Amino acid sequence: MKITDIRTVVVGNPWKNWIYVVVDTDDGFRGLGEATGGLSTQPTVAAVEEVKHMVIGRDPRDIHAIWNELYLAGFLNINREMSGIEMACWDILGKSLNVPVHRLLGGKVRDDIRVYANGWYSGPRTPEGFADSASEVVAKGYTALKLDPFGTAYLALSRSETREVQALLRAVREAVGDDVEIMIEAHDRFSVGAAIEIGNWLEEFDVTWFETPVLSNDVDALIEVAKRVPVRVIAGERMHELHDFARFLNADVTDIINPEPLGVGGVWRTLQIAGMARAHHAQLAPHNAESPLKTMIALHIDAVTPNIYIQECFDDFLEPWVSDVLHGFERVQDGKLRIPDTPGFGVELDETEAAKHPYGKSNFLRMFRPGWERRDVAHD
């Protein structure tokens, strides 16, 4: 079996253009991976075009050899085009053997995984609006939800902003009750001092974690904050190298990390990080802010990893046409996702439907701009 072509398909989701990596073979098998990445749509598409000549003609089942060649060729840098190609090769391997990817990784240790909702708070930025949206999430069966309540704040919160954020969180906690987990996302926005101040008053709301309160590839800053607040601090989505995770875990200041499979190089590297976490008695909550394909890929990682705490999921809060573009992805039921048993990752891309939703220059989540949390599409 040989790779005959690698190409990208961009789908214009309103708040993030999704990038799919399609790998074709001479045996007729087609693999699907994802390389979505915020404001880097066109650069990533170009990067796939630039590196594909190194992979065409190779056997897609030689996944580690292909990944390592791309890693060395990129001067020891990990990027999303590598991850997308790696994932597509796993998909081909599973399809060629007629087994799900998790079977290739050693077999599943669970039949389903609890998920937490994200992307749900798209209504009015008021305590009542957030409370109503949170209540709807719980009514769907979710036992955990995450939100970034900090609006456009950067580096610090003013006193009025602090009161506003506390009012939002108090309303959400009262709406969902004591048994639902609340995760707080900060999107890397605060200084160390501000993060410590916020992390201390967050204890009032019984939050499960305070995510990326400072620039999350500044491991020393993360450690400093985690040592000085009473709530759990987690990070990982902006870390790329194994040694960054090792430094954070070695400090013994957290027991949950959230690596982004696209950012660390794909499926296999995520499993390596899970092993590192287990050595520190820590769990994973894999980051997942892309399309339902990425959710399905995460499920195969979750399936074989004993130390998964929970899985992030946006899929209930996407555009209604998504199921026309992607076929076969699992849907959340009672706050959980079932581990799929279809060959490969179990998802197929309808390129005819995908073409109806082209790349859009405004399809970006512009943090620190008023209204970003409502997923407003910019027109500038």
Q: Mean pLDDT for each consecutive 10-residue tract of the chain (380 residues)?
A: 98 95 98 92 96 98 98 93 98 98 98 97 92 98 98 96 98 98 98 98 98 96 98 97 97 98 98 98 98 98 98 97 98 98 98 97 82 59
Q: What is the 3-state secondary structure (H, E, C) of 4-47?
A: EEEEEEEECCCCECEEEEEEEECCCCEEEEECCCCCCHHHHHHH
pLDDT given for residue 379 in this prediction: 41
Cα of 100 vs its chain's centroid, Å: 21
Give the closest residue to 60 by CA, choosing from 95, 36, 34: 95
Q: Other C-beta atoms within 10 Å of 220: how many?
A: 12
Give the closest residue to 91 by CA, choosing from 273, 45, 99, 325: 99
Partners of 23 in beta bridges: 6, 31
Amino acid at position 295, single letter:
T
pLDDT given for residue 137 in this prediction: 98
**Cα–Cα distance measured from residue 369 to residue 111, given in angstroms and rounded to the nearest whole number:** 40
Cα of 165 vs its chain's centroid, Å: 24
**Cα–Cα distance measured from residue 2 to residue 125, given in angstroms and rounded to the nearest whole number:** 52
Beta 256-257 vs 283-284: how paired, if at all?
parallel
Beta 209-211 vs 181-185: how paired, if at all?
parallel
Which residues are catalytically annotated? 187, 287
Which domains are assigned to the chain? Answer: 3-100 (3.30.390.10), 104-343 (3.20.20.120)
pLDDT given for residue 12 in this prediction: 96
**In contact, 284 and 309? CB cutoff 8 Å:** yes
Q: Is 181 helix (H, G, I), strand (E, B) or coil?
A: strand
**Cα–Cα distance measured from residue 149 to residue 165, given in angstroms and rounded to the nearest whole number:** 6
Give, for 72, the enclosing helix (H) or strand (E).
helix 63-73
**In contact, 31 and 380? CB cutoff 8 Å:** no
**In contact, 197 and 173? CB cutoff 8 Å:** no
**Cα–Cα distance measured from residue 273 to residue 283, given in angstroms and rounded to the nearest whole number:** 10
Give, for 354, the enclosing helix (H) or strand (E).
helix 351-354
- Within 8 A by CB and 6+ apart from 145, the residues are 116, 117, 118, 120, 134, 137, 138, 176, 180, 181, 182, 183
Give the closest residue to 293 by CA, choosing from 40, 138, 148, 90: 90
